[in-house]
Amino acid sequence: MRHGGLSSIAAFALSIAWVVPGQAVDAEGTVKNVRPENATSALKPATPKPKTTVGIVYLGKQYKEPIPLSLMEPVLTDKGVQGARLGILDNNATGRFLGVETVLHEHIVPEDGDVVAEAKKIFAGDPQLVVADLEPHDLLAVADLPEAQNALILNARSADDRLRQGDCRYNVIHVVPNWAMRADALAQYLIWKKWPRWFIVKGTAPDDEDYANAVKRAAKRFGGEVVEERTYKFEAGARRVETGHQQIQTQIPLATQNAAAHDVIFVIDTSEAFGEYVPFRTADPDPVVGTHGLTSSIWHRAFEQWGGMSLQTGFQKLAGREMTERDYAGWLAVRAFGEAATRSPKHDAAGLRDYMLSNKFQVAGFKGQKMTVRPWDHQLRQPILIMAPRALVSLSPQEGFLHQHYPADTLGFDAPETACRFPNAQPQKATVSR
């Protein structure tokens, strides 16, 4: 009897030990759910009330976007801003416990709207931190406003090299890579592969010309050669009817035949007019690189290294779709503001700008290394993904391309090459070598 009694007591005690919070055991040993009013708060620690709230403005415009050539690519009307929304959630996941909360204010003007007038309204209020999803002319118009001189604007859209050169502004930091960085990233990989001869086939859009100039600069910089350059205006016709593929199959070989000896075709089609149709239709069996085929990207839906899969999953849960480059840029810009806000002792625009331009600032972007801002042109240093349509091929800068300070400064305009002149800027010396 004694042993049996001890066994009963032990069994009863064990049953109590395994009961989770929010449950109770009655006299007969039955587990019952109990949900007192404070049960949730007892299980989940309360989030401390933030001491500081930092407002971030997402300023965009509904520009006319090119329709994707492939039906597999959906037409998206919320690129960029969805990434910013995720950035706010990521900021506050840790920032609130450090006493800092970031809040997003979305201002998207219509295609025929006045973005400068909208910016004036923004700068008349408290938020002076702006994520700019704007084309170059609108970005400069906003940055040059007298009301914006004490603001901090993060360029999350434009790759225009001029914004990092003669048209640079002290109140603007560039989160997205410019054409020079993208061209240098691909050029390094092509030189590493010993494919130095490039045949450029470009479209007629202004960005096509800018990217082509960056590719020619990269060739001189790293030992490549542009053996021929052609401008191609693709007349689509009825490409989606039954005979559309025959039309394309005939046009692309004609556009690429009789070219000088080359290793790759460098397709430059930023407006999505013909680039998707070039692979497997060229006159010669050529690898295709550039805006299509093998690309240089800030982000890609197939990228999963360095914890990138968690960012992809989080975005898919939030937006219900895959993350684009613009989404990543919006996310990274908001995260950069959040990182600065949680670490800087000052939370006004001037204080955060000083911190982000100092050697103390760095932001993680799921690319294997911290990102910092170049002082001579305010471009964010970052690795560039070399991507096939469905897989990562490489990451630039490539091994063997050396820099005396930062390997990422082999991409884009180095300090001695810059035409940007900020007030009180000190000349810097740095070199790229291989």
Are 152 and 290 members of one domain?
no
DSSP 109: E
Angle, CA 196 vertex, CA 297 and CA 295 arms, to 5°: 15
Does residue 28 belong to any structural domain of this protein? no
Are 98 and 187 members of one domain?
no
Are 204 and 61 members of one domain?
no
Are 66 and 208 members of one domain?
no
CATH number of the CATH domain containing 74: 3.40.50.2300
- pTM for this entry: 0.85
Q: What is the pLDDT of residue 236?
A: 59
Q: What is the pLDDT of residue 416?
A: 93
Residue 156 burial (CB count, 10 A):
32
- Domain end marker among 264, 297, 330: 297
Does residue 426 belong to any structural domain of this protein? no
Q: What is the pLDDT of residue 76?
A: 85
Q: Residue 178 is which amino acid?
A: N
Domain containing 243: what range?
A: 181-297
Are 288 and 311 members of one domain?
no
Q: Name the nearest CA neighbour of 432 among 385, 394, 397, 388.
A: 397
Does residue 200 belong to any structural domain of this protein? yes
Q: Residue 56 is which amino acid?
A: I
Are 66 and 165 members of one domain?
yes
Does residue 193 belong to any structural domain of this protein? yes
Q: How many domains does the chain have?
A: 2
Does residue 111 belong to any structural domain of this protein? yes
Are 361 and 311 members of one domain?
yes
Number of helices (H) and strands (E), helices first, in the chain? 11, 18
Residue spans of beta strands (DSSP E) within 62-215: 100-109, 129-133, 152-155, 172-174, 197-202
Torsion of CA 280, 282, 286, 288, to 10 degrees: -70
- Domain end marker among 297, 322, 350: 297
Does residue 383 belong to any structural domain of this protein? no
Q: Please state, in angstroms and rounded to a whole number, the distance separating the CA atoms of residues 160 and 153.
A: 16
- Domain end marker among 351, 374, 397: 374
Are 304 and 280 members of one domain?
no
CB 154 within 8 A of CB 135: no
Are 290 and 316 members of one domain?
no
Q: Please state, in angstroms and rounded to a whole number, the distance separating the CA atoms of residues 417 and 268.
A: 24
Q: Name the nearest CA neighbour of 287 among 304, 267, 270, 271.
A: 267
Q: What is the pLDDT of residue 51?
A: 84
Residue 202 pairs in a beta bridge with 231, 268
CB 67 within 8 A of CB 21: no
Residue 221 burial (CB count, 10 A):
20
Could you tell me the two tokens for 364?
A: 């993680």
Does residue 46 belong to any structural domain of this protein? no
Are 243 and 340 members of one domain?
no
Are 196 and 281 members of one domain?
yes
Q: What is the pLDDT of residue 117?
A: 97
Q: Name the nearest CA neighbour of 429 among 419, 415, 409, 412.
A: 415
Q: What is the pLDDT of residue 65?
A: 85
Does residue 405 belong to any structural domain of this protein? no
Are 330 and 292 members of one domain?
no
Q: What is the pLDDT along the chain (434 residues), one digit of tens a residue?
A: 444 444 454 444 434 343 444 444 444 443 344 444 443 334 445 666 778 899 999 999 999 887 777 777 788 889 999 999 999 999 999 888 889 999 999 999 999 999 999 999 999 987 799 999 999 999 999 999 999 999 999 999 999 999 999 999 999 999 999 999 999 999 999 999 999 999 999 999 999 999 999 999 999 999 999 999 999 987 655 445 444 566 688 899 999 999 999 999 999 999 988 999 999 999 999 999 999 999 999 999 999 988 899 999 999 999 999 999 999 999 999 999 999 999 998 888 999 999 999 999 999 999 988 899 999 999 999 999 999 999 999 999 999 887 888 889 999 999 999 999 998 655 455 444 44
